[in-house]
Amino acid sequence: MSSPAAEAHAHAAEHPVEHMPTGLNTKKLIMWLFLASDCMFFGTLITTHLIYRKIYANLGVDPIEIFDIELTTASSFILLMSSLFMALAVSAIHKGNVKSFRWNLIGVIVFGGLFLAGQVYEFNHFVHYSGLTLESGTFGSTFYLMTGTHGVHVALGILWLLSWLIYSYTPRFNSAEHAIDVETAGLYWHFVDIVWIVIFTAVYLIEYV
Amino acid sequence: MSDAATASPHHDDPQFLKEEQKKYFTFMNLAFLMTALTGIELVIIFLPFPGSLLIFGSLIFLSLVKFVGVIFWFMHLIYDKKLLTVIFLFGMTLAAGTATALMFLFSESHVDQELPFYQEGLIQEAQDESGP
Amino acid sequence: MKSETTFQSTTMAPPVESPVHEPPVDRPAGRPRSNIGLVRPDGRGFLVDWLTTVDHKKIGIMYFVFAMGFFLVGGIEALLIRAQLAVAENNLVSPQTYNQLFTMHGTTMIFLAVMPLSSAFFNLLIPLQIGARDVAFPRLNAFSLWTFVAGAVIINLSWFFQAAEALGWFGVAGGHTDMVPAVGWFGYAPLTMTEYSGIGTDFWIFGLQVLGIASIAAALNFIVTIINFRAPGMKMMRLPVFTWMTLITSLLIIFAFPPITVALGQVMFDRFFGTSFFNVEGGGQPILWQHLFWIFGHPEVYILILPAMGIISEILPTFSRKPLFGYSLVVFSGAVIGFLGFAVWSHHMFTTGLGKVATAAFSLLTMAIAVPTGVKIFNWIGTLWGGRIKFSVPMVLALGFIFMFMMGGFSGIMHSSAPADAQQQDSYFVVAHFHYVLIGGSILAILAGTYFWLPKFTGRMWYGSLGYWMSGLVLVGFNLTFFPMHFLGLIGMPRRTHSYLEGTGWQPLNIVCTIGAFLLAFGILLFLIDLIRTVRKGPPAGNDPWDGRTLEWSIPSPPPVYNFAKTPVVKARDALWADKHGSSRQKLGGVESGSHGIHMPSNSWMPLVASAGLLLVGVSMALKQAGVPFCGYLAIGGLVITTVGIYLWALEGPGGYHLHPRPNEGGARS
C-alpha cells in the first residue's frame, strides 16, 4: 500500500472532500438530494394513477379480478428482504469484511432479480389472461407506466450493484475507499424499496378495501 | 487530510465494531417486523368490515411504519446528520402535498359521463378483440 | 519528487500580457493514462482542451457562448413574429410557420437562453464566491453542459428537417408536414397527440427531456457545492446573495423538473405506444397535462428570475458603496418565493373552471407571493438610499431591472385576481406581463451581470460609452415593444394570433411594437459588439475594478486555473469588503495548500460521450416517429453509448496533477 501510485490514488480519492463545513459526505449528500427529487418523480406517476382511479368508477373490469394479491405480497416481501441484505452489505463493507459484503450483495441481486421475474410474470399474465394492455384505457396506461418505471429502477439498481460485485474482485477495489460508494448505491436501492412500499399500498391493497 | 466523514472504516476500532454488531440485530429485527406487517396487510384486506375506514387507515398506517423503518434505519438517517433527513423529508412533503392537492382538484363530477369510454370501460373492449 | 521551486516572474505582471501565471506543474512523465489504460486528454490542443475540460470557468464560458447563440436564434424568431404582426392581414409567414416560430421562440428563450445564461453565471461565480477550487463534481458539470447542448441541438435540428421537407427531400408518409414544434411552449394536450401535430412535437418532447437531465444534474452539483465546499468561515449567512439565490434556484430545479419529466414521458407513450394519458378517446384528461405542466412551469418562472435577483443584489451594493440593506430578509424572501412557487401553479388555469374553493385558494397564495417580492424591492431601494451611487453601466441596467421588474410584478398581481385574469387570459396583456419579467427582469440582469463580471473573466475592461448607448436602446426598445401590448390585450388582441383584421383597431399599436422590437434587437447587437471589442482590445481590468465585496475580486483577472492559491478563511459577510475596509479582526485569512500543492483533476472525454448518446436517442426517436427505418435501433445504440460513457467515466478515476502557485500569487489577500 505504500507504493507512490497507491498513495496518489488514495489522495485523489480523498481530494473531493477536502473542506466540508457540514461534515457530510459529498456523494451521500448528492444521492439524498437526488432521492428527494425522485420523490416528486414517483409522486407524479402514482398520483396520475390515483387520479384516474378516482374519477373513473367504471374501468370495464374490476382490478381485484386482475390482481393476484398473494403474488404481489410475495414480491413485496422479496424486495424487503433484498433491502435487509443491502443494509447488511453496507454494514459489512464498513467493517472491512469483504467476504460478507459479497455474499450479502449477491443476496440483494438475487432477490432483486426475483422481484423483476415476478413483475415480468405479472405483466405477462395481465396482458394474456386479463387483456390489460397499455392501450386499454387509462388504467392500463397508468398501471404499466408506473410499475414499469419502478421495474426499470430495480433493473438499474441490479446493474449498479452487480458492477460493484464484479469490481470487488479487481485489484483496485479497496473496502476503505469504496465503502461510501457502496453505501450510496445502497441508498438508491432502499429508495426503490420504499417506492414499492407506497405502490403496494396505494395501488394494490387499496383496491380491496 | 482524512476526514471523519469519509467513511474510512475503523476495522480495528472495537467501539465501531460493537456498534455495527448492534446495527446487525437492529436490521434483523426490523426486517422481521416489516415481514410481519406485510403479512398483516395481506390479511386485513380480507376482513369483512363494512365501511372499511378502519382498514383504510390501518393500511396507510402500516405502510407508513414500513416507510419510516426503511428510511431511518436501513438508510441510516438516524445515524447520520440531520440535514439529510431535512432534505429528504422536504422532497417527500412537497410530493405528498402536491399529490394531495391534485387529488382534491380532480373529481368524478367533472367527467362527462355520457362519453363511451365511461359507459363501457376500455378493458372489456380489448378483451373482446383478443379473446377467443 | 515534488519540485519546491517557486515560479520566478516579474511581480505585478499586467494581466492582459500574460493572463495566466503558469505555476510549476507536477505531472507524471509521459502521456497520462486513466485507471483503465486510456490516454487522458490532458495538455492537448485548443479544441480537445475545451471539449474535455472539467474547469468550471471554461464550462461557464461555454454555457455563455452557446446560450448567447441560442438567444440570437430566439431573437430572430421574435423579429419574424413582430414583422408578421406589423400590419393587419399580413402574410409574410404562413400560419404553420408562425405557430412554429412562437413555439420555438418561447422554448428557445426559456430553456436554451435564459436558463443556460443563468447556468453560465452559476458556473463562473459559485466556486469563486464560496472560495472553492471547483464544483463538487467537475465531470458531472461537464456532462450538464454537453447534455444541455445535446438537448438544444435536438430541438433545433427540427428546422433542418423542415427545410428538407420544403425542398422535397424528406417527408412523413401520410402524416403531417410540420417538422418543427408548433404546439406552444407549454404543449397543451390534446394538441400533442399524433392526430394533431407532427414530429416537431417529438423533437420537442425529447429535447426537453434531455434538457431536464442537464438541468437536474447541474442543480444537484451546485447544491452539493454550496452546502459542502464553502471555504472555512463561510457560514451560510455569510454567503453572497447570488450564491443563496443559486442554491434556491437549484432546489427549485430538482423538485420542479421531475413532474415534467413524467408528463413528457406520458405524452411520449401516448404518441409511441397508444396509451391514454391525455388521449380523450381512451379516457385521458387533457387538463391533467395542464396541471403537471404548471406544477413544473410555475417554479420554472422563479428558476428564471431568482438568479437575476441574485445578480442585482450583488451589483446594487457595490455601486452604492453600502452593504445590502436587510441581507437576511432578502435571503429569506428568496426562499419564501421559491417555496410558495410550488403552491400556485393553478393560477395559470383559472379559466379552466377549477371550482370556487380551488380558485380562491390559488388566488390568495398567488397574491401572497407579492409580499416577499415587494420586500426584496424595498430592500434594494433601501440599499440605494443614502448610498454614494456610481452610474456605471451595470448599475444603470440594474436600476432598469428594478423599475421594469416592478412593472411586470404589478401586472402579475392583476392576474392573481381570478376575475381579472379571465379577461386577460391568452391575450397580449399576458404577453406584456411575462416579457416585462423575463426581459425587463432576467435579461436586463444578465446584461448587467455581464458588464459587471466581464472584467473578472476576460481580464479586460469595457470602455467608452457604447455600454450606455446599449442600455438606453435596450430599455427604450423594450418598453416601446411591450408597453403597448398591455393595451392591445385589453382591447382584445389574442395571444398567438397569426394575423388580424383591418377594422380591429389593433393596427397602430402593433406597428409601434414592431419598431420597438427592432430597436431592442439593435440594442442587443450593440451589446454583442461591445462584448467582442472588449474581449479583443479592452484595457487591463485589474483584480478589483469595482472595489468589490465578494471573494472573486480577491484573485487575479482572469482567475488562474486553480482559483485560490491559498484557501481563503472568511471572517465576515461581504468577505472582501470587510477585509479592505473593516476592522483588523475581519481580515481574510489563508490556508496554504501544503507541500503537495493544489490537486487538479484531469480532463475527460466521458461526459461528452455520455451526452452524445443522449443526442442520438433524441434525434432517432423523433425520426422513428417519422417512419425512418432502423431508428429504433439507433436510439438503443444511443442508450448504449451513454451507458458505456458512464461506465468508462466511473472506471477512469479523476486522475490529476498538482500545481504549486507562488505563495503570494492570487488567492486570499495577504
ipTM for the complex shown:
0.93
Distance from CA of A107 to the nearest CA of B (A): 14
Subunit contact B122:C255, Cβ cutoff 8 A? no
Q: Containing domain of residue C627, as a range? A: 1-255+278-283+547-670
Per the domain annotation, does C630 fall within a domain?
yes
List the end-to-end C-alpha distance of chain C, in Å, as a whole number. 29
Name the amino acid, one letter, at C51: L
pLDDT digits (tens, 9 = 90+) for C399-440: 999 999 999 999 999 999 999 999 999 999 999 999 999 999
Burial C26-36, CB ≥16 within 10 A → b, else e: beeeeebebbe
Subunit contact A138:C283, Cβ cutoff 8 A? yes
The CATH homologous superfamily for domain A27-208 is Cytochrome c oxidase, subunit III, four-helix bundle (1.20.120.80)
**Which residue from B minimizes the CA distance to C282?**
B117
Contacts of C160 (CB under 8 A, 6+ apart): none
Picking from B30, B70, B123, the nearest residue to A137 by CB comes out as: B123
pLDDT at C177: 85
Task: Kindly state the cell numbers that stand for A160.
Answer: 449498479
Does A21 reach chain B within 8 Å, measured CB to CB?
A: no
Q: Give dist(CA C102, CA C84) in Å, integer.
A: 11
C residues 162..221 contacting A (CB < 8 A): 216, 220-221
**Which residue is associated with the grid cell 490532458?**
C42
Q: In chain C, pLDDT over 90 holds for what percent of residues?
A: 83
Chains that touch C (3 or more CB pairs under 8 A): A, B
Picking from B30, B99, B106, the nearest residue to A55 by CB comes out as: B106
Subunit contact B8:A131, Cβ cutoff 8 A? no
Contacts of B82 (CB under 8 A, 6+ apart): none
pLDDT digits (tens, 9 = 90+) for C17-61: 444 455 667 666 677 888 888 888 887 889 999 999 999 999 999
pLDDT digits (tens, 9 = 90+) for C128-178: 999 999 999 999 999 999 999 999 999 999 999 999 988 988 887 667 888
Picking from B101, B104, B117, the nearest residue to C283 by CB comes out as: B117
pLDDT at C6: 36
Q: Give dist(CA B39, CA A45) in Å, integer.
A: 26
Subunit contact C292:A9, Cβ cutoff 8 A? no
Interface test with C, best of A24, A31, A41 (most C CBs within 10 A): A41
Task: Kindly state the cell numbers that stand for C615.
Answer: 443526442
pLDDT digits (tens, 9 = 90+) for C469-511: 999 999 999 999 999 999 999 999 999 999 999 999 999 999 9
Subunit contact A33:C653, Cβ cutoff 8 A? no
pLDDT band at B11 (very low <50, low <70, confident <90, very high): low
Q: Return mean pLDDT, chain C.
A: 92
pLDDT at A57: 75
Residue C494 has φ and ψ, to the nearest 5°, of -75, 150
Distance from CA of B57 to the nearest CA of A (A): 10
**Which residue is associated with the grid cell 409601434?**
C512
CA distances from C57 to C20, C142, C500 (A): 13, 11, 48
Listed in sequence order, the DSSP H helices in C538-659 are 575-581, 606-625, 631-652
| Cα angle, residue C25 at apex, residues C19 and C26 outer, rounded to 5° | 165
Does C596 reach chain A within 8 Å, measured CB to CB?
A: yes
Q: Give dist(CA C320, CA A193) in Å, integer.
A: 55
Q: Which residues of B touch C (CB under 8 A)?
A: 83, 91, 94, 97-98, 101-102, 104-106, 111, 115, 117-118, 122
Q: Give dist(CA A189, CA A79) in Å, integer.
A: 10
* Domain ranges across chain A: 27-208
Residue positions counted in chain C? 670
Q: Return mean pLDDT, chain A.
A: 88
| C114-133 mean pLDDT | 97
Q: Is the pLDDT of residue C9 over 80?
A: no
Subunit contact B104:C358, Cβ cutoff 8 A? yes
Listed in sequence order, the DSSP H helices in C229-285 are 241-273
pLDDT at A197: 96
pLDDT digits (tens, 9 = 90+) for C515-552: 999 999 999 999 999 999 999 999 999 999 999 999 99
- Pick the residue with more confidence: A130 or C613? C613
Picking from B98, B102, B105, the nearest residue to C342 by CB comes out as: B98
Distance from CA of C259 to the nearest CA of B (A): 10
Q: Which residues of A touch B83 (CB under 8 A)?
A: 22, 24, 29
- Pick the residue with more confidence: C294 or C597? C294
Maximum separation of any 2 CA atoms in chain C, in Å? 85
Q: Which residues of C touch A138 (CB under 8 A)?
A: 276-277, 282-284
Does A18 reach chain B within 8 Å, measured CB to CB?
A: yes
Q: What is the torsional sign of CA B71, B74, B77, B78?
A: positive
Residue C600: helix, strand or coil by DSSP? strand
Per the domain annotation, does C155 fall within a domain?
yes
| C366-384 mean pLDDT | 96
Picking from B97, B98, B117, the nearest residue to C281 by CB comes out as: B117
Name the amino acid, one letter, at C533: R
Count of C-beta atoms within a 10 Å radius of residue C186: 17
List beta partners, residue C174. Answer: none
Quote the radius of gyration of chain C (alpha carbons, Å): 25
Residue B114 has φ and ψ, to the nearest 5°, of -85, -15
Q: Which residues of C touch B93 (CB under 8 A)?
A: none
CA distances from B23 to A93, B29, B74, B77, C141 (A): 13, 10, 9, 13, 37
CA distances from A89 to A165, B24, C372, C479 (A): 11, 10, 48, 63
- Minimal CA–CA distance to A56: which of A135, A142, A116? A142
Per the domain annotation, does C655 fall within a domain?
yes
Count of C-beta atoms within a 10 Å radius of residue B114: 7
Strand segments, DSSP code E, in C31-175 are: none
Q: Is the pLDDT of residue A6 over 60?
A: no
pLDDT at C540: 95
Task: Kindly state the cell numbers that stand for C349.
Answer: 388555469
**Which residue from C minimizes the CA distance to B125?**
C282
pLDDT digits (tens, 9 = 90+) for C287-340: 999 999 999 999 999 999 999 999 999 999 999 999 999 999 999 999 999 999
Q: In chain C, pLDDT over 70 holds for what percent of residues?
A: 94
Task: Kindly state the cell numbers that stand for B67.
Answer: 416507510
pLDDT at B128: 45
pLDDT at A90: 95
Q: What is the torsional sign of CA C502, C506, C512, C516?
A: negative
Does C24 reach chain A within 8 Å, measured CB to CB?
A: no
Distance from CA of B87 to the nearest CA of A (A): 7
pLDDT at A9: 38
Distance from CA of C338 to the nearest CA of B (A): 12
pLDDT at A208: 87
Q: Which residues of B touch C295 (CB under 8 A)?
A: 98
CA dihedral defined by C431, C434, C438, C439, rounded to 10 degrees?
40
Task: Kindly state the cell numbers that stand for C31.
Answer: 502521456
Interface test with A, best of B62, B122, B129 (most A CBs within 10 A): B122
pLDDT at C653: 85
